[in-house]
């Protein structure tokens, strides 16, 4: 009987039976990580201004411009404090534990309900795998994957008690790895399959787990702000043989990526379609398991990647990336 009920429940969800938007407001709390800039900052502002929710915006650096802007929003509200900007370092267990304690205290002292944890924080480093230093590789794994797992595991009892949902922000790289982003893609692919397992595990407790793929925001965020600094570290670690082999290619590659470097002002995304997809993931009674936001170019390539054999897929990936290659620099 239990198996039959589970099957009927699954079929109803496939058909969208009973789907509706939940009513949200100041009593509903959403916790978003990676709010210093980019997507996380924009989602925190959207939940605060458009959905009128209570927002816990987690920033790595409370002195960052993004964190300062979020804190100003909190000061601007005379009647209720709905924006809480807290420091969080996913690599430090003590920081995660302190955030957990503050969250429990907030919920205990108010009549608020925790609606969702949005795992958005991440770091990225460009460069062929041979170039990337062990510290650069480990930072991506520790922040993107282990840090997300660490925070989620710490909060899971509270999330389960509140029947809150988990929204994991992953990447197109989790479906198709791209050259020069091998460690980053590995962390996003790992997040994707972890997300799927977690979704099945938490279903019996009435919890939702969502994979949210927002498209590329490298130019609008600070995820690659230290790219030139990272490139210099890679160059300094080269052996004489590596320098002779990669020299002109390495230089052209990082010159092409120079536009990514430097810290950018936090800006609120104006992509209404993306925000509407996020709203559905956050407030629908039966959210989809996967939300993908992408331009047509991404959609066509993603479709082709699924259909083509590996040699053609590799060629398509290089066309999709359109970055300097070793062969092109040797011909010049």
Express each pLDDT in 122-166 by its tens digit: 999 999 999 999 999 999 999 999 999 999 999 999 999 999 999
Question: Cβ of 197: how many Cβ atoms within 10 Å?
Answer: 10
Q: Which residues contact 252 (CB under 8 A, 6 or more apart)?
A: 324, 328, 329
**φ/ψ bin of 19: left (φ > 0), alpha (ψ from -120 to 50), beta (otherwise):** beta
Question: Cβ of 190: how many Cβ atoms within 10 Å?
Answer: 18
Q: What is the pLDDT of residue 155?
A: 98
Q: Is 189 helix (H, G, I), strand (E, B) or coil?
A: helix
Residue 78 has pLDDT above 60, yes or no: no
Q: What is the pLDDT of residue 95?
A: 98
Distance in angstroms (rounded) separating the CA atoms of residues 226 and 205: 41
Q: How confident is the model at residue 1 (pLDDT cuts 50, 70, 90)?
A: low
Q: Is 167 helix (H, G, I), strand (E, B) or coil?
A: strand
The average pLDDT across 292-312 equals 91
CB 70 within 8 A of CB 57: yes
Distance in angstroms (rounded) separating the CA atoms of residues 254 and 228: 7
Residue 50 burial by Cβ neighbours in a 10 Å radius (0-12, 13-18, 19+): exposed
Q: How confident is the model at residue 15 (pLDDT cuts 50, 70, 90)?
A: confident
Residue 131 burial by Cβ neighbours in a 10 Å radius (0-12, 13-18, 19+): buried
Q: Which residues contact 97 (CB under 8 A, 6 or more apart)?
A: 154
Q: What are phi and psi of 265, to 5 degrees?
A: -65, 140
The average pLDDT across 196-210 equals 97
Q: What is the pLDDT of residue 156?
A: 98
Instruction: Report all structural domains of the chain as residue ranges with CATH numbers, in order of start.
Output: 22-225+265-298 (3.40.50.720)
Q: Which residues contact 233 (CB under 8 A, 6 or more apart)?
A: 133, 136
Q: What is the pLDDT of residue 16?
A: 79
């Amino acid at each position: 009987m239990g198996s039959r009920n589970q099957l009927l429940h699954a079929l109803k969800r496939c058909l969208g039976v009973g789907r509706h938007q939940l009513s949200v407001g100041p009593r509903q709390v959403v916790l978003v990580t990676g709010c210093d800039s980019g997507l996380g900052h924009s989602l925190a502002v959207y939940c605060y201004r458009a959905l009128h929710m209570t927002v816990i915006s987690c920033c790595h650096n409370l002195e960052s411009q993004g964190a300062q802007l979020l804190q100003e929003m909190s000061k601007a509200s005379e009647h209720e404090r709905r924006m809480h900007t807290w420091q969080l370092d996913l690599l430090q267990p003590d920081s995660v534990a302190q955030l957990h304690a503050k969250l429990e205290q907030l919920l205990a002292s108010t009549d608020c309900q925790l609606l969702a944890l949005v795992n958005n924080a991440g770091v990225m480093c460009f460069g062929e795998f041979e170039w990337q230093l062990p510290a650069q590789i480990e930072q991506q794994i520790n922040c993107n994957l282990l840090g997300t797992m660490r925070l989620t595991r710490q909060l899971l009892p509270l999330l389960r008690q509140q029947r809150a949902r988990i929204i994991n922000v992953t990447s197109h790289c989790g479906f198709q790895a791209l050259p020069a982003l091998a460690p980053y893609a590995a962390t996003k692919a790992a997040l994707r399959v972890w997300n799927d397992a977690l979704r099945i595990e938490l279903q019996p407790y009435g919890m939702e787990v969502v994979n949210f793929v927002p498209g590329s925001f490298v130019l609008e965020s600070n995820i690659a702000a230290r790219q030139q600094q990272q490139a210099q570290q890679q160059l300094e670690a080269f052996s004489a043989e590596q320098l002779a082999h990669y020299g002109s290619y390495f230089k052209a590659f990082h010159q092409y990526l120079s536009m990514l470097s430097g810290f950018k002002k936090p800006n609120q995304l104006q992509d209404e379609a993306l925000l509407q997809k996020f709203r559905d993931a956050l407030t629908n009674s039966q959210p989809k398991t996967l939300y993908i936001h992408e331009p047509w170019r991404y959609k066509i390539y993603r479709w082709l990647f699924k259909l083509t054999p590996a040699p053609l897929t590799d060629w398509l990936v290089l066309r999709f990336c359109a970055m300097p290659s070793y062969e092109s620099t040797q011909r010049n």
